[in-house]
């Protein structure tokens, strides 16, 4: 990566349009909300993108897009981005680039080296060895098979997102097959190079949670629901997690310790932890807001808008982290159990009519083929419900999902 040149002065007021630079974006979930929150705070969003066609919402919402090589901070700084008052991203892959640009411009943001290191799970595990399952980092199929001494094991790429490439393996043959598949990948879905490293670790049993931190403030602890093995697709979330106080404290303490050890602490962090029979075991730390609609789940449950908080933080403003309500929110994702085709009909309206459901969405137009979920990209929609008690919130979300499920027709069937 080229060295960044001299810093340019940043105009924040005095007649100059105040802008928020977004370096790429999520293509699903909360991506477009960053631009909307910037405008609500009086700033104009500017989206830097290598492929503007990825973001139909930009044209729909009137967001200015600058086409540039977003893998290179120098190229972004040299582009027609104006004089931003803040820099951030909602895409996991571009957190280091956004952090380096912010640092060069003297703007608020996370430590660039810390977020770069954090994105590599091999580095994470080396730093957090005492908190996480034992992990072996390998660079060959033979080494992966040799590292799998006790089954089941989990294989995952050293850099990735959304459970892409994460697989539970029960035999040496499945380890060899998955390791070969992961090591054959040289670039991720955004065309960025990925290291030829695979993590092999024993499967950690027990329910999974995420701790949503902002700085050192625990905003929420979320219960995560996963789809069927051997994949690790998140198919639902509940907030609050409705845990005994001792378990909440253990999860919060583990998350704070992990973030501190990694040199993080600015803005949002999404920390995934399993409560095993031996106590909390760290799965991974993400130096960003959660995906999977968790920010919207947390907002529904507490009133805390984590997207607005992150935007405020990078603009040097005070993030609003004080909850204004305490209700129970549950989100369930629509996934296919067999090869199916989307035929929406009136299923969205039927799901939204379920008492307690506040949002129902399909992500695919009618006629789209949907396979059983292997990672986040195979989710076909979601239902979000709220209630006064956890059980009622979960029941409403499931009932809404059952209505939405009618939108998926198994291949070969007609209605």
Backbone angles phi, psi at 127, to 5 degrees: -75, -35
Residues 6+ apart with CB under 8 A from 88: 20, 21, 22, 23, 34, 98, 102, 109, 310, 311, 314
Report the relative pairing of strands 268-276 and 208-214 from DSSP bridges: antiparallel
Catalytic residue among 37, 274, 288, 374: 288
Q: Which residue has the tokens 């001792």?
A: 246
Pick from 199, 137, 141: which is nearest to 175 by CA? 141
Based on the residue annotation, tell me whether 288 is a catalytic residue of this protein. Answer: yes
Give the Cβ contact number of residue 358 at 10 Å. Answer: 15
Report angle CA 205, 208, 209 to the nearest 5 degrees: 155
Question: Counting Cβ atoms within 10 Å, is residue 192 exposed (0-12), middle (13-18) or buried (19+)?
Answer: middle
Helix (H) or strand (E) holding 102: helix 95-104
Is residue 147 within 8 A of residue 194, CB to CB? The reply is no
Residues labelled as active-site residues? 288
């Amino acid at each position: 990566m080229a060295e960044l040149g001299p810093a340019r002065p940043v105009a924040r007021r005095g007649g100059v349009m105040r802008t928020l630079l977004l370096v790429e974006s999520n293509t699903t979930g909360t991506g477009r909300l960053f631009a909307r929150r910037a405008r609500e705070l009086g700033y104009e969003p500017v989206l830097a993108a290598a492929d503007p066609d990825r973001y139909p919402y930009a044209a729909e919402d009137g967001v200015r897009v600058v086409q540039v090589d977003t893998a290179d901070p120098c190229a972004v700084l040299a582009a027609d981005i104006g004089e931003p008052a803040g820099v951030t991203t909602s895409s996991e892959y571009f957190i280091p680039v956004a952090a380096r640009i912010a640092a060069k411009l003297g703007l608020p943001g996370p430590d660039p080296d810390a977020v770069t290191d954090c994105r590599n799970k091999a580095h994470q595990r080396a730093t957090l060895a005492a908190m996480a399952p034992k992990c072996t980092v390998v660079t060959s199929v033979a080494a992966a098979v040799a590292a799998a001494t006790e089954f089941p094991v989990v294989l995952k790429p050293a850099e990735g997102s959304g459970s892409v490439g994460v697989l539970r393996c029960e035999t040496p043959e499945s380890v060899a097959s998955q390791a070969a598949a992961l090591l054959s990948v040289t670039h991720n879905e955004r065309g960025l190079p990925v290291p030829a490293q695979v993590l092999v670790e024993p499967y950690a049993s027990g329910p999974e949670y995420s701790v949503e931190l902002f700085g050192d403030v625990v905003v929420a602890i979320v219960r995560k629901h996963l789809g069927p093995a051997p994949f690790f697709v998140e198919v639902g979330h509940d907030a609050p997690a409705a845990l005994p106080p001792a378990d909440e404290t253990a999860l919060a303490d583990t998350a704070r310790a992990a973030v501190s050890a990694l040199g993080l602490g600015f803005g949002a962090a999404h920390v995934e932890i399993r409560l095993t029979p031996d106590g909390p075991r760290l799965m991974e730390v993400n130096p960003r807001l959660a995906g999977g609609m968790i920010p919207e789940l947390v907002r529904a449950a507490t009133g805390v808008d984590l997207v607005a908080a992150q935007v405020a933080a990078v603009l040097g403003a005070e993030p609003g982290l004080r909850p204004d309500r305490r209700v129970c929110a549950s989100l369930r994702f629509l996934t296919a159990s067999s090869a199916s085709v989307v035929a929406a009909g009136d299923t969205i309206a039927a799901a939204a009519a379920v008492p307690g459901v506040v949002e129902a969405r399909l992500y695919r137009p009618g006629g789209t083929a949907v396979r059983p979920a292997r990672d986040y990209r195979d989710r076909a929609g979601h239902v979000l419900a709220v209630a006064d008690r956890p059980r009622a919130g979960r029941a409403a979300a499931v009932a809404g999902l059952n209505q939405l499920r009618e939108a998926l027709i198994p291949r070969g069937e007609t209605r």
